[in-house]
Amino acid sequence: MADVSPDIARIRSRLLAWYDAHARTLPWRAGPGAAPTEPYRVWLSEVMLQQTTVPHATPYFQAFTQRWPTVSDLAAAPDAEVMAAWAGLGYYARARNLLACARAVAGDHRGVFPDTEAGLLALPGVGAYTAAAVAAIAFGRAANVVDGNVERVMARLFAVETPVPAARPELRRLASRFVTESRPGDWAQALMDLGATVCRPKSPLCGPCPVAEDCAGRAGGGPERYPVKAKKADRPQRRGIAWVLFDGQGRVAVETRPDKGLLGGMLGLPTSDWTTEDPLDAPPVAADWREAGAVAHVFTHFGLSLTVRTASGAAPDGRRWMAIEAARAALPTVFAKALDRAVSDMLPI
């Protein structure tokens, strides 16, 4: 880390003034200086944004809040409906945690979110970041809210040479130096906006940056090299088989996946296990199966090559028929890809 002692008060003042003038307009956000946003909307948006972008999450947020306008409405929703609405946001364990948290708030807290970081952290599925974000943004608590954008800003301000993820405790400590009782929600969102729109991962816009003159990374001539990244391990690759069975009347056989595990509780197509070895070729029903090619999909921790096999016949036990278009809309992306591959191979159905 560079030997710098930035003026904390000056950075706060300049960044908050910049935020007042340039804050993004987001459907889950109150404007600078406005009364805090309703906690349900803050919590829901933060959960959705953990592994996706604002443009991608926005229509999901709008759909969820229109369909389930309060946390109690969401808590009362059937699991399958929430899982289907979540499809496309990735990391489906978060959808299960979303329901668990909503039901805890509705049942144990009478529909009112706890207003402290510790109380929020005690809710199922709520981690340190989400608890801090809701505490600061919805309740005005002086919480240290650190996401990837904040890590990047801190790494550049202080020219932190330790690679991430090892640097994260130090980046959190540095971010905590800026947290005060004054405008904690606006401060958290100002840092997020700076990282998202100015202090970008690539090609940072140092010219309009309100804290450029305090940035050690910029002073060293290479802010884009921060945060320093540890060498990534190669992403493991897995293989599997998807069996796509049609009934000859425009319907496909689907199933509900087990609650636990990847894509748990989601609608799916019958598949083999996804392994690093050759998958077990054990179709769910005897039929004249034929290969229809393969689809590729990338999950957070591995890549998948899914061989698609198609046939027409009776639905296997434990599965049900569903109209192809309805299935395409409800299936997670990896299964929608397999269905599209099968449809193109089987036409006319």
Catalytic center residues:
46
Task: Report residue 156 CA to chain centroid gap.
Answer: 24
* CA distance linking residue 24 with residue 26, whole number of Å: 6
Structure tokens at 7: 């003026």
Residue pair 242/294 in contact (Cβ under 8 Å)? The answer is no
Nearest to 2, CA basis, from 107, 157, 130: 157
* CA distance linking residue 153 with residue 165, whole number of Å: 15
Nearest to 342, CA basis, from 315, 306, 316: 306
DSSP 271: B
Burial 8-24 (b: 16+ CB within 10 A, else e): eeebbebbbebbeeebe
* CA distance linking residue 38 with residue 54, whole number of Å: 19
| Pairing label, strands 267-268, 251-256 | antiparallel
Nearest to 22, CA basis, from 147, 205, 190: 190
Helix, strand, coil shares, percent, the chain, to 5:
45, 15, 45
Structure tokens at 47: 């959960």
Q: First-to-last CA distance in the chain? A: 63
Long-range contacts of 283-291 (CB under 8 A, 24+ apart): 283/243, 283/309, 283/311, 284/243, 284/245, 284/253, 284/316, 284/319, 285/245, 285/313, 285/314, 285/315, 285/316, 286/313, 287/245, 287/311, 287/312, 287/313, 288/312, 288/313, 289/243, 290/345
